[in-house]
Amino acid sequence: MGTKTQSIWDIQIIRMALLDAFLKLSPRCQIRNPVMFTVYIGSILTTALFIQALLGHGEAPAKFILGITVWLWVTLLFANFAEAMAEGRGKAQALSLRKARREIVAKKLAKPDRKSKMTLIQSGKLRSGDIVLIETGDFIPSDGEVIEGIASVNESAITGESAPVIRESGGDRSSVTGGTQVLSDWLIVRITTNPGETFLDTMISLVEGAKRQKTPNELALTILLAALTMVFLVVCASLLPFSIYSVISAGSGKIVTMTVLIALFVCLSPTTIGGLLSAIGIAGMDRMIQANVIALSGRAVEAAGDIDVLLLDKTGTITLGNRQAIEFIPIEGVSVGELAEAAQLASLADETPEGRSITILAKEKYGLRGHELRELGATFIPFTAESRMSGANLSGKQVRKGASDVIETYVQEQNGIFPAQAHKIVEQISSKGGTALVVAEGRKVLGAIYLKDIIKGGISERFAQLRKMGIKTIMVTGDNPLTAATIAAEAGVDDFLATAKPEDKLKLIRSLQAKGHLVAMTGDGTNDAPALAQADVAVAMNTGTQAAKEAGNLVDLDSNPTKLIEVVEIGKQLLMTRGSLTTFSIANDIAKYFAILPAAFATTYPVLNKLNIMHLATPDSAILSAVIFNALAIIFLIPLALRGVSYSRVSAGKLLRKNIMIYGLGGLIVPFIGIKVIDLILMSMGVV
Amino acid sequence: MSGNGFLQICIYVLALLIITKPVGLYMAHVYENHPIWLDRLFGPFERFFYRLSGIQTTDGMDWKRYLIAMLVFNFFGCLIVYGIQRLQFYLPLNPQALSAPSPELSFNTATSFVTNTNWQSYGGETTMSYLTQMLALTVQNFLSAATGMALLIALIRGIRAHESSNLGNFWVDTIRGTLYILLPLSFVFAIFLGSQGVIQNFKSNQKITLLHPISYQQAMQDQAGHVMNDANGNAKMQTIHMTEQVIPMGPVASQIAIKQLGTNGGGYFNVSSAHPFEDPTPLSNFFEMLAILFIPAALCYTLGVMVNDRRQGWALLAAMFLIFIPFMCLAVFEEQQGNPAFTSFGIDQMAKSNLFPGGNMEGKETRFGIINSALWATATTAASNGSVNAMHDSFTPLGGLVPLWMMHLGEAVFGGVGSGLYGMLLFVIITVFVAGLMIGRTPEYLGKKIEPYEMKMASIGVLIMPLIVLFFTAIATVTKAGVSAIANPGAHGFTEVLYAFTSMTNNNGSAFAGLNTNTPFYNMLGGVAMLLGRYWIAIPVLVIAGSLAKKKVVPSGEGTLVTHSPLFIVLLASITIILGALSFLPALALGPIVEQLMLWGQYGH
């Protein structure tokens, strides 16, 4: 996947977009956009008028008609260019994704057993339900579910993340994506998609914009713009009879020409937003991709801007996934120092953040200096998923630490007794929302380590901003209400759902939706799938199960639960860009009237020149300047359309005031200056 | 402007603000079927009427049934008005033995009164019998107003309801609106007008002998009606001595009351409220002016009460005032400024004192003067009333532009009773859409999401008016039938045509005059314009009401766009003005604007 900080002006993309701009002049492309289609018809008409003028029957000087005609075509090209630029960035990404989708020879198994009969088959011929074996160095031929084995997989082709991830059967890390590579060990995978429907295929068509459907707000805006265009069409068309009447009745002047009317129409109709509308939509999807989020539906992107309730899982989102040791609690007859030392020894080989936090606590709080591993001459038992404990074997001493049930089994295996007091300590710790690790030396239980949830830095500020944006946060956790309340208060969430079972999440979403709320959530497990399917915006983690990914409408390749906040902002930005450019486009019209109306009718009524407040040099230059400004507005606003209007996390009122000042008032004033400047340039160049 | 004039404007605006709350609250009670004092008086009659017509008061209608009921009701109303006109010669109460108006005039008048337009291609006292005035025209004055209010109430119910299709019952809304709002108000108002000298009788026209006979010169005409010229090509003049005058009579007060209150505006006499029997005194004038905006302003408050957020009603009213007051000031200023052509004749138009207020007095009544004429002109076109107390044709070009542009805003600033506010709500939908996008949220109004379907309907509603006005004006300016009716040449003549179609399409009904519209061309085209202008907006409004009623209510929060903040009010006013300006600026440039520039270019200093 491309770099995340891709510049808008990539020379390769620009070159492609320039070519595309011309190709998009075909009527089939143009008719998709009602506003620009009317410009298209106008351009064809003025071209015909120009040819007529060349033949000597022109309604106006051929040079003038040519000037208007050229700039009308340029307006179209600029609009096409904007769209092509937006698509170009996606296309570049699609290209790199395609490389991952090459044909692979898959090892198809007759039965889900490594030793069963194996046939070699092209990956394109794999159907849903087929079973394949993937060994070290093999590429995964298609999307599927791991049914046996555990392996590390390089998924950088999809996620851009170079660190390998673990994929194993069962649990929440069982889904594999076609095009990724197994680095070590082996997997037996049941294929879950047919050719052409894989995640990679979906991603390619999404980034290319081929599958893009108009979102509801885009549709509504298109309707409004079409209505405005229709009004302006009648406004301009009616000016011909009005002009005829005025000329006859005033007995002087010339009837307004078709060329001028078409120029006026193009200037008035909302071409700025009309020309940039699809570019904004594509760029919005693109920004999602830059954020490493794949939007499986355009609606979800837009809905993201509307959500007002955010369901967040506690672990990994609000708290660090890793807990930290904060206290050693020995059982009766054991000193804290003893326990601390044993705990430290047992954790020396534990490179997980939790393990490290134990050694640090022992060192800082109990002044135990770190043992030199070599001088101890110990053998270390590292933490594994199977044993779920770690420890060290010293001369005559075996220390272990692990979850209470694991240690209980370990102690009992050595004919030891797991003391009742240890159970009590463990319960106490969990009632405070912590996690207990039990430490044992040989068959004697020494005590427990209190691991506490650590709230992520800066998260409460983030929630405060969300509150300002009008989004309520609800923390979902399996913890008991007391713990949940403590963490909720500390993190600054608005509400929490404690002792939550997966079905509670679904119930909560339903009840919120019944009250009219739009709910967003993230999830990765299969048991999250029903809730994901119910939520309005559902971000599935890429590391999650196939079921979760299918239920979500957005997939986060980084598998970062706080990404939801970014998604919301991208959604809002998308709408804001449309709204702001619409306001700008409509506000522009006032200045254009002042440029064109005197120019068009001053031959009939010379007094109308008083409305020429910009003091544009000649009627021809006035009209041409307005048309040129109209075209240039599109090209100058392409970066804004692609990047999106800047979003600040403030209240709706402040945001509206800011955008009205910039795009409403700005849109009123800028064209007066712009048209005047273009007029001066045209005069100095002696064009008109 | 003199201090006295300023005071009159202030009192007018203040009086309007004071009545808004009590009247708005009362109307909400009427439509919510809450107990009101008048129940005791009209309740039995109301219930008897329901029994007689088999109306189930609890029978809620969805938007389709509501619409069909409204259309059927209006269609039969139209037929009856047409029929009475055509048969008036054979019907009683016709002391002048007036014959039936032509079919196309009858059609024009029927559509005009049913659509609450009250455009008049006829002179009332010389065309319509007393029975026609009362039974056809006055009755429709009540019913068309009640229809407009019922439609608004249906829309409000649509905004308020959730997951429902019930918009209320059209028959009940129309009957209650007439019985409890329009009738009592008109009754009291008619009595008051009578006290000021507005007549109410069935006498035939009175011939009186003038106390001061007058004589004047008039061009002689041959039998074909052409002016006869002498040898030098000048018109032959004859002197006419007047010793007698015919004074028209009739049941005036009862019609004038509802004409003002129901934003109807169809005068009993040809010159409407400029006639001393329609509007005799400054006091009657003040209350007639107040009656123009009385119900439209109060309905804003009714909306606030019914959606349970009174700030929303005040916000809409504030947006209306925000547009109304500057335009009114412009009209007053322009008329007070006077006509530079008069100045060149040595006529002093400067305001000197309360007894010499100056200004452009052409076409104005001396008992009203500049302030009350300009104020009336702005109010009557802001609301879709259309009655006049001065001749708009004689206003200064920009003074005449004000009433024209008030109508170009789609009669949403106050507007017709009911229809004005639902027109404004269409602008609100467009405003919340643009504003909603600008803050990055799917637009919503009062908890209802505005989606493509509502946008489509709102677009149709807002679009149709400029399309019809411009299209029909275009036809009239290039056809012989259209141009031949124009009395004044040039830009002023263009304004006359533009004004006529603007007034008819917007269901205003005021006339700029100077245009002979009693021709088959204008009567037919105008009739079509009035029908389209009324129903092509009413239908999308009911569709929106139905669609909004079905939706869930979105709870409001920090991220919700506040629709009662000063910012939103300013934005709403701006969008209303800009949409009007964008559609009509070119046409206005070729009419009043160029006229103003030419007038001041020629005579200005």
Rounded Cα distance, A144 and A151, in Å: 14
Of A323 and A654, the structure prediction assigns the larger pLDDT to: A654
Rounded Cα distance, B431 and B445, in Å: 10
In this complex, which of A219, A245, A574 lies closest to B452 when CB atoms are compared? A219
Interface ipTM: 0.92
B179 — contact with chain A (CB < 8 Å)? no
Q: Cβ of A610 and B597 within 8 Å?
A: yes
* Closest-CA residue to B105 (of B91, B92, B89, B124): B124
Q: What is the pLDDT of residue A585?
A: 94
Q: What is the pLDDT of residue B455?
A: 93
DSSP A265: H
Rounded Cα distance, A302 and B458, in Å: 22
A624-633, B229-238, B285-294, B364-373: range with lowest mean pLDDT? B229-238
List CB contacts of B326: < 8 A, sequence separation 6 or more.
none
Rounded Cα distance, A300 and A510, in Å: 18
* Closest-CA residue to B334 (of B11, B578, B593): B593
> Cα A68–A71–A75 angle (5° rounding)?
135
* Closest-CA residue to B242 (of B205, B269, B207): B207
Q: Cβ of A516 and B447 within 8 Å?
A: yes
At A8, is the pLDDT very low, low, confident or very high (cuts 50, 70, 90)? Answer: low
Of B473 and A426, the structure prediction assigns the larger pLDDT to: B473
In this complex, which of A572, A587, A607 lies closest to B440 when CB atoms are compared? A572
Residue type, A229: T
Q: What is the pLDDT of residue A7?
A: 62
Segment B419-427 mean pLDDT: 96
Q: What is the pLDDT of residue B46?
A: 94
Element (H, E) at A182: strand A181-191
Segment A418-435 mean pLDDT: 82
Q: What is the pLDDT of residue A369?
A: 63
Pairing of strands B448-449, B444-445: antiparallel
Residue type, A148: E
Distance (Å) of CA A416 to CA A17, A221, A388, A421: 75, 74, 19, 14
A-chain CB neighbours of B557 within 8 Å are 308, 470-472
Q: Kindly identify which residue of chain B lies nearest to residue A655, measuring between CA atoms.
A: B439
The radius of gyration of chain B's CA atoms, rounded to the nearest angstrom, is 24
Reported as half-sphere exposure (CB side, CA atoms, 13 A), residue A209 has a value of 21
- The C-alpha of B455 sits at a distance from chain A's nearest C-alpha, in angstroms, of 6
A74-78, A447-451, B419-423: range with lowest mean pLDDT? A447-451
In this complex, which of A238, A268, A576 lies closest to B440 when CB atoms are compared? A576
DSSP A135: -
- Give the rounded percent of residues in chain A with a pLDDT score beyond 90: 30
In this complex, which of B451, B477, B597 lies closest to A245 when CB atoms are compared? B477
In 10 A of CB A519, how many CB atoms?
Answer: 24
- The C-alpha of A569 sits at a distance from chain B's nearest C-alpha, in angstroms, of 9
Of A94 and B426, the structure prediction assigns the larger pLDDT to: B426
DSSP B415: -
A427-441, B268-282, B308-322: range with lowest mean pLDDT? A427-441
pTM of the complete model: 0.86
At A4, is the pLDDT very low, low, confident or very high (cuts 50, 70, 90)? Answer: very low
Residue type, B452: P
Q: Cβ of A593 and B585 within 8 Å?
A: yes
Burial state string for B283-314 with b = 16 or more CB within 10 A and e = fewer than 16: ebbbbbbbbbbbbbbbbbbbbbbbbebbebbb
3-state secondary structure A280-330: HHHHHHHHHHHCCEEECCHHHHHHHHHCCEEEEECECCCECCCCEEEEEEE
- Which two three-digit tokens encode residue A220? 């509504």
Compute φ and ψ for B320, nearest 5 degrees.
-65, -45
Q: Kindly identify which residue of chain B lies nearest to residue A668, measuring between CA atoms.
A: B578
In this complex, which of B447, B463, B601 lies closest to A230 when CB atoms are compared? B463
> Is residue A45 predicted with pLDDT exceeding 90?
yes
B438 — contact with chain A (CB < 8 Å)? yes
Q: What is the pLDDT of residue A2?
A: 38
A249-258, A381-390, B126-135: range with lowest mean pLDDT? A381-390
Q: What is the pLDDT of residue A171?
A: 66
Averaged confidence pLDDT in chain B: 93
Q: Cβ of B440 and A226 within 8 Å?
A: no
In 10 A of CB B348, how many CB atoms?
Answer: 11
Q: What is the pLDDT of residue B79?
A: 97
Q: What is the pLDDT of residue A1?
A: 36
Element (H, E) at A132: strand A131-134
Averaged confidence pLDDT in chain A: 85
Segment B578-602 mean pLDDT: 92
The full DSSP string for B302-367 is HHHHHTT-HHHHHHHHHHHHHHHHHHHHHHHHHHHH--HHHHHTT---S--BTTB--S--TTB-TT
- The C-alpha of B195 sits at a distance from chain A's nearest C-alpha, in angstroms, of 48
Q: What is the pLDDT of residue A381?
A: 79
In 10 A of CB A395, how many CB atoms?
Answer: 7
Helical segments of B120-206, H only? 124-127, 130-131, 139-160, 170-176, 183-196
A192-196, A207-211, A666-670, B116-120: range with lowest mean pLDDT? A207-211
> Is residue B591 predicted with pLDDT exceeding 70?
yes
B437 — contact with chain A (CB < 8 Å)? yes
Segment B460-466 mean pLDDT: 93
- Give the rounded percent of residues in chain A with a pLDDT score beyond 70: 93
> Is residue A373 predicted with pLDDT exceeding 60?
no
Of B454 and B554, the structure prediction assigns the larger pLDDT to: B454
Segment A474-487 mean pLDDT: 80
> Is residue A371 predicted with pLDDT exceeding 60?
no
Compute φ and ψ for A175, nearest 5 degrees.
-95, 140
Q: Cβ of A516 and B553 within 8 Å?
A: yes
Compute φ and ψ for B234, nearest 5 degrees.
-85, 155
The radius of gyration of chain A's CA atoms, rounded to the nearest angstrom, is 34
User: Judged by CB atoms within 8 Å, which residues 119-178 of B form the interface with A?
Assistant: none
Residue type, B123: G
Sign of the Cα torsion B158, B161, B165, B166 reads: negative
Sign of the Cα torsion A548, A554, A556, A557 reads: positive
Interface probe, candidates B472, B558, B571, B572, chain A, greatest A C-beta count within 10 A: B558
> Is residue B495 predicted with pLDDT exceeding 90?
yes
Examine the residue annotation and report whether A313 is marked as an active-site residue of this protein. Answer: yes
At A358, is the pLDDT very low, low, confident or very high (cuts 50, 70, 90)? Answer: confident
> Is residue A215 predicted with pLDDT exceeding 50?
yes
Q: What is the pLDDT of residue A372?
A: 55
Pairing of strands A472-476, A495-497: parallel
Segment B272-276 mean pLDDT: 94
B463 — contact with chain A (CB < 8 Å)? yes
Q: pLDDT tens digit string along A529-581?
A: 888 889 999 988 877 777 788 888 888 888 777 787 888 888 889 999 999 99
B483 — contact with chain A (CB < 8 Å)? yes
Q: Kindly identify which residue of chain B lies nearest to residue A247, measuring between CA atoms.
A: B490
Q: Are A531 and A509 in contact (CB under 8 A)?
A: yes
Q: What are the residue boundaries of the structural domains of chain B, listed by start?
A: 20-198+257-306, 206-247
At A251, is the pLDDT very low, low, confident or very high (cuts 50, 70, 90)? Answer: confident
